[in-house]
Structure 1
Amino acid sequence: MIKTLRSWWKDSEISNLIGRKKVDSSIFEYGTQIPVEFHVDFSEANQGKAPALGTSQKIVLIYKNQTFEARLQNVDQKSADREALQIRYDSNKELKQFMISQFQATYQYITAKKAENSGKKNIVVPDAQAEYIEFYATRTPFEYRIELITQQGSPNVWWVNQGNTINAGKTEGVIWAPLKNSNGNPVHHWETMREVKRGDIILHYANKHLRYVSRVIDPAQIAPRPSSFANSNWEEEGRLVRTDYFEVSPAIPLELFNQQLMKLNITQGPLNSIGGVNQGYLYRFTIPGLQLIQHLSKDVNWPAFTQFEVANPVIEETITLPEIKDENVRKTVYQVKAYIKQNGFHYTDPLIENFYLSLKTKPFVILAGISGTGKTKLVKLFAESVGATGENGQFTLIPVRPDWNDPTDLIGYQDLSGRFKPGRLTEVMVTASLPENRNRPYFICLDEMNLARVEHYFSDLLSLLESQRWMDGQIVTEPLIPYASLDRVEDQELYGDLGIPENVYLIGTVNMDETTYPFSKKVLDRANTLEFNHIDLTQLPWSEGDEEQEIVEIGPVSQRFFRADYLNLVNVGAENKELVKRTTNKLVAINQILEEIHAQVGFRIRDTISFYSIYAERFGLLTEDEAFDLQLLQKILPRIQGSHTSVKRVLLKLLKVCLEGESLQVNDLLDDASTLYSRWDAGKEAPAAKYPQSARKLAFMLRRLEEDGFTSFWLS
């Protein structure tokens, strides 16, 4: 939400922004008055603390490596019967001189206008020439980081996301954005159009590539939407900037520079904290950012107006993994869902959230269900939405063959000459382990994984997944290919002691029918099993109004988005301990039921379910009950099968847990439970349940047991 009061402005979507102040004469003289409507923003930044009425509090302003002292003053304006909050630095000559030196354009404009108007004080700077100071909250009360938006010296650099409007914009030589959205509100990435000035540089991004660079001919003017901009959701009135396009050839893929660009920490820039492109239009950029891209794309003939003296020509080839804010995880997951939907595939909620949380919990996930439900397509589109494609090598599809009875097809073998012949999986892991690829996730889809016995060809990998541990800030495993097992020096250097890199994610798709093999508990313990048997054929790849939706596009996403934060319960912070205790207590009750058929779970599953629940709560993707419901469905129920009365008793007791609050007489239902499970028959509204998805599955398993004399998770 955007808030605008006189010379102050704020968009609540900009992380830690307290407010942006348009520079006027007060900035050069004493400081600034803070509108009453912004008092709450400063109070939040100060963690609820405030100077008492009639007093002041010392504050610190931080700009890059410089710090300045000022005061936050709460003035008692008795005559107006109100408080007045001010940032004051009347006697700080150093800070006032700093403001004059940084905002030269505004200072000179105001000085000239005062001279023309005999010392007139209220000089209003036009938006096209305006400069701004932004205040950002830090973790310390009364300490603010400031950013300066200036007009002086070099041109400003901007980044525009154009998508399917790029050809129209290029043809007409413009960029255009509405004044307000469909709700009648201004949007910050459209409001930036006001600040574009003649001579500025714009980088034009579309379809995961930088495709044009342009120089601004005329600053923004109010103008109707160009006829070639076909999105009918936009308002008719907007701002138009005329600009001279220059084609970037070859187009520059985002993945070439996004990881290094994040290191520059461009304020209100186009990339989010996980390396994807923010969904919006016009974003701030910098000359150092432009120079970094130029350095990494030496085959592009950049126009002369983009050439500047290189301030720091040394570009590091690798960077540390960026921190990722929890709120950005949720936004990215929802964008992934939108990307998949616009590609014509619909999956019931919360499947995408569940898939992401399962990968985050452990890098091995099984997608099970009947043929033709989109399991393989889900993996491909999910990977593609975060920048991992077959073309860049970050997505690999490996069809499993029925004759696989050992790991050589996946991992490799030494031929008669002693040369190591790598399998497809090993080739991917070698690439993923390179330093320059450490920030990129790699997805391997083992298609129709159970056409062969999984334990025969995959057991080595399953064991290695259990050896994960932290080492120097990275997750490592025991070696898949021991150094000593290789004969040739060349092979030892390339493959020796190769483990499973932390940025490799394994997803198996399986069909459960008469042509496939069942899973052992060793496999089930080490994976989340997501089932696709509940199909709604009425979901079509289009719906009314979809053609008016803006294209959703997600660029490359950092490996940090997927990497596990916890490997053992000792890694869990104090803030999560109560959730772990509640989850453990639920599992203790479940284990008491499972003991009757010797299907109880151990520490591995307890930890996995705890981690899943923590992620779900941290990222706001699922409630605690929704998370436990899915884990009960995916980690517990697949272990249950059999034909004995004891199995039926366990199913009934588990169903009673799922229907918490409903009185079920288990012994009365042992002979005939049809009145219970028939409540989930097709066409009926499912009964209310604490854990509805597990309850539905248990009802189907009960039906199979009574009708066929045998039941299993996989038969329903």
Structure 2
Amino acid sequence: MVTVNNVVLEDEELMSYRDSFLSFQNMLLNEENFNNDNLQVLTNILAFMKAGTKPKRKKNFKAYFENIDINKAKDLTDLLQELKVAVESGELESINKQKNELITQGMLLITKSYLEMFSLGRDSREVQDTKNFDTTGEVNVLHNYSKWLYEEVNDLVTEMADTYQNSSLNQDLVRKFVYEFKRFLNGRLLLKIIDIGTKQIIGVPIQLTKYGYKILPHPFLKSEWELSRPIETLNNKERIKVGDIIAVNFAAVRNEHFISSLLYVDFDGAEVVPQTLHQALLEYVDTEYIEKAYEVFEVKKQDDEMIKSLLTKKLLDTSAEVRQLLSDDLNQLNEIREAISKQNEKITEAEETLEENRKDWNRILKRIDELVKIDELDGSIRQVDNSFEKLEYIPEQFISNLQSLFYHNDNQHLIYKLGIIKSFVYALQANILTILAGPSGTGKSSIVHAFASAVENVEVRMIPVQTSWTDTQDLLGYFHPMDKAFVPTPFMEALAEAAMEENKSKLFLICLDEMNLAHIEYYFSEILSAREEKTQSLRLYPKRHWNTAKIILTEGTASLERQQNARELIDLYPPVFRIPENVRFIGTLNMDHTVKPLSPKVIDRSFIMEINHLTFQEKEDIKSNLQKLTGKIKMNYELFEEFVLDAESISDAIEKIEEISLLFKDFPNASLNSRGYKHIRNFLSYTKDEIEKNEMIDFIILGKILPRIEIKRMEIDSNSNTILQKLLPYPLSYEKFNRMLNTKHTVNFW
């Protein structure tokens, strides 16, 4: 106990926050979410914390905060600001997260200290030492649990027991108990893990007493008070082991079937507590310090290790006096520290003499060096090579020239049939998601790079898909609320690069390599949906962060890093990001048992191309007709997207494709829809003449209709001969459908 300065206790300004602190304590202890009605309370608490943590504090705030760890108080102030922002935006998940974090970091203790100081519930002249406000409450839970149950909450516990016997225990009673229990524990509970099975993790509540850790009995049942959670819902379950003691946040249980357990425990936010003194001390000091700690705390070898561990850790965390006692007997170490401190002061003085702009440039140059090293490691540096021969773009010869350049431009001597190259190019021009399927080594990824090597103003960005991708954040990135920065993925960086003004005349090919290692419709869903809109855009984060970034840049007083983050938000990653028109999406996939099948949604929005191995004779025949060409064809994005044929010129081809599509009208998802017809109209508009237009009908059937088919063999048998007869003019599709029919159960493309 310490005596508080009378001036502080009688200060009207400090006293004026009393009602706000009382309301704030109730908000933290209750399970209801914060709402707009609480904003004024939050604003008042923030004002109090900010006034007490300013470098130049008023005399009364300085007197109150003089024994408080200001850095810890600043961290709490930042958390309060985040909570206020979350309440203003109504983001429930963020509200609960910030609320739990405030409890974990010890906000309940500083709230309690303030209320006790200003005559709420005890003598206003003596209060607890506020230097310990940043513990999580374990040290202060030394009251007798049984005394608390049978004296302070006896009526409530009795009512709970009676209603439980009558099968009428309800949520209101449980919430009242949890509210009081949180006050008793200062918001955090200690659990000992007793079992981790295949289905659930189980722990029992415990209390630290002078006799060691003791299991807390259930408030009104004679059975052991066990708290559990399904193991499959637990994140990072491998970090918790049987026998561990963990500090956790908790709330009232909501499941009526388990209402007698009273508590729902947040195992995900658990903090594992050391159980030996040696383990606790080693987090802070070396072996020599540990020996001194034993002497200072008069620890005997036979003493209970579990009691000593938690007490010692928290004292080392929070007590400057303990740290001073430990260091008094280490004169030599202190001398070393003093020498280091003097050296640091000299360094600090030298840094302060530098002009601010020189400091900024130094940081910028260091960052550039880091980025250069990263780029060199991942191979992302792309030197501009202007030494290649520039070839004129001749529409009628474009595809045949590409075939020659694919072979002669690279040491791999890539060989593709003309039909494959045409399908690939026209699908890109039509802006259809182009999926390249086939066995390994057939050149699926290579054709993408080869196109960029053969055509001017084409950039390729390869994005390897990971098996762990489950949602849009894995593909695009996320907003970091603490840094006020958007953290992009390589995919999002490629989109931002394509959107730059200086790149508008370039074609960007973003290729998702082995895209079906994860479920495409999960991580790619937002892209698929955006591409159906007239204005193709992605929502990256709430707009208020963008407005904040504009204020940061306007004021110019924030740190260089914070200003850089704000600049990136403004220039590269606005809250609503428009997908650039000069971007084309490509995917490669290997169809085997290790990958995810394509869903009808993905197939409907794609052009499927099978690339298979060529025979020796096929390669020789192609090579004999190749011109000797190297270099790049002169082209830009504007030229690349120009149509060749109008709607009237391709209407007859559309009718032929529709005739084939209608053969499958009685089977779900098998015939083309309006989206599919839009795709093929755009595709055919880039063919060069009548002959090529009719030739590509076969490839369209192969890439847009046959992949949609997934029909039971018995349902299609009666129509199979009719379909084959209609496919006779289209040899590739005829051969493929014939192979599809050679199955016992289901006729499908894959």
Structure number with the higher helix fraction is 2
TM-score calculated relative to the size of structure 1: 0.44
* TM-score in terms of structure 2 length: 0.42
Larger strand proportion, structure 1 or 2?
1
